[in-house]
Amino acid sequence: MEQQKKALDEKKALNKETLGKEIKILGIESSCDETAAAVVVNGRQVLSNVISSQVELHAKYGGVVPELASRKHVENISLVVQEALDKAGLGIEEIDEIAVTYGPGLVGALLVGVSFAKGLSYTSGKPLKAVNHIEAHIAANFLEDSPLDPVKQPFISLVASGGHTHLVEVFVNENQDYPSCGALSYKIHGRTRDDAVGEAYDKVARALGLGYPGGPLIDKLSKEGSPSVLFPRVFLEEGSYDFSFSGIKSAVLNYLNKSTMTGIEINKADIAASFQDALLDVLTAKTITLCKSLRMNTLTLSGGVACNSSLRGRITALCQKNNITLHMPKPIYCTDNAAMVAACAYFTKGNSAKLQLNAVPSLKIQG
């Protein structure tokens, strides 16, 4: 009890010190196939955002090859971090904190960012912050001129990416005293029970022979087709906000196999449009139903799949119809980047890390 009070007093003192001050955070991200670094002021103003994508390297294998990803991160990381500092016009001595993604993700890939950040923290004497990648996707919604203020309004966040599909309630934890920016708490209402939504896009795209990553290709192709094939909408048991996308994916694969066996010609654009229609019906319906059932009138949408033009259009229309205020980051902040990592470190101020920090590949979102 005594100790808790002391810790709270220390945090309050720290907040008084930092209130009204500019906090410049260097974010570092290497959880999958993007090596990224960014400098962000007070969790919003992006001074630089450097992303080195490995898409071309992995495309010929049809997906991310973990060992190749780690090696490429090692090659890139110091250049990417230096470029982020240069573009921000700052030296490391002018940075206040270093934030790094430590999970979830590919262990070898994560370790590159974590080790680099620890080394930089040690040599520069700057504090280190450990960031959860899923929470960082949520924090992308605070970037730039976003009016979203977690202190003023709790919100529902849909995170839809290649590795995750989460429906999360985000609010400021009143037990912690962070008046300068708030410390976020999360309550998970739904998550995928099998494939992540981006994973389903990528697998269906591969079956259609479109290439990798499949999401943007299905997005584009589906505009040329019509949703003429009825694939299943999997809603699971009543009242559940969990998702299951492996059924839709298998239905598409079965349809394609049957067509090959019977020699019936398929129209790829129609299949893409039909798959997307089924998947987005479920994703958007569950999201809006959750907002309504919790009487939450603010929704955010982020993660790589949030780049999808049809998803953006449908969710915008549904939010307008249901009086829900919608926030979506620009596409460049939806896919993996380090600006969201820096923003997350700012808004979840408590996550200080020591030099013992390790990568945690199956890290869960903090409840």
Q: How far is the CB of 104 from ligand KG4 (least distance, A)?
A: 9
Three-class HEC string of the chain: CHHHHHHHHHHHHHHHHHCCCCCEEEEEECCCCEEEEEEEECCCEEEEEEEEECHHHHHCCCCCCHHHHHHHHHHHHHHHHHHHHHHHCCCHHHCCEEEEEEECCCHHHHHHHHHHHHHHHHHHCCCEEEEEHHHHHHHHHHCCCCCCCCCCCCEEEEEECCCCEEEEEEEECCCCCCCCCCEEEEEEEEEECCCCHHHHHHHHHHHCCCCCCHHHHHHHHHCCCCCCCCCCCCCCCCCCCCECCHHHHHHHHHHHHHHHHHCCCCCHHHHHHHHHHHHHHHHHHHHHHHHHHCCCCEEEEECHHHHCHHHHHHHHHHHHHCCCEEECCCHHHHCCCCHHHHHHHHHECCCEECCCCCCCCCCCCCC
Least distance in angstroms from the C-beta of 53 to ligand KG4? 9
Binding of residue 157 to Zn ion (CB under 5 A): no
Interaction mask 323-362, ligand KG4, x per CB under 6 A: ------------xx--------------------------
Verify binding: residue 247, ligand KG4, rule CB under 6 A. no
- Is 202 among the residues that bind Zn ion (CB under 5 A)? no
Q: Whole-number minimum distance, CB 216 to ligand KG4, in Å?
A: 4
Q: Does 150 help bind ligand KG4 (rule: CB under 6 A)?
A: no
Residue 215 found at the interface with ligand KG4 (CB under 6 A):
yes
Confirm or reject binding of residue 304 to ligand KG4 (CB under 6 A).
yes
Asked if 161 interacts with Zn ion (CB under 5 A), we say: yes
Site membership for ligand KG4, residue 182 (CB under 6 A): no
Residue 136 beta carbon to Zn ion: minimum distance, rounded to whole angstroms: 8
29 binds, among Zn ion, ligand KG4, none (CB under 5 to 8 A by kind): none
Residue with smaller CB distance to Zn ion, 178 or 347: 347
Residue count, binding to ligand KG4 (CB under 6 A) = 19
277 counts as binding ligand KG4 under rule CB under 6 A: no
Site residues (CB under 6 A) for ligand KG4? Answer: 32, 161-163, 198, 201-202, 213-216, 219, 303-305, 307-308, 335-336
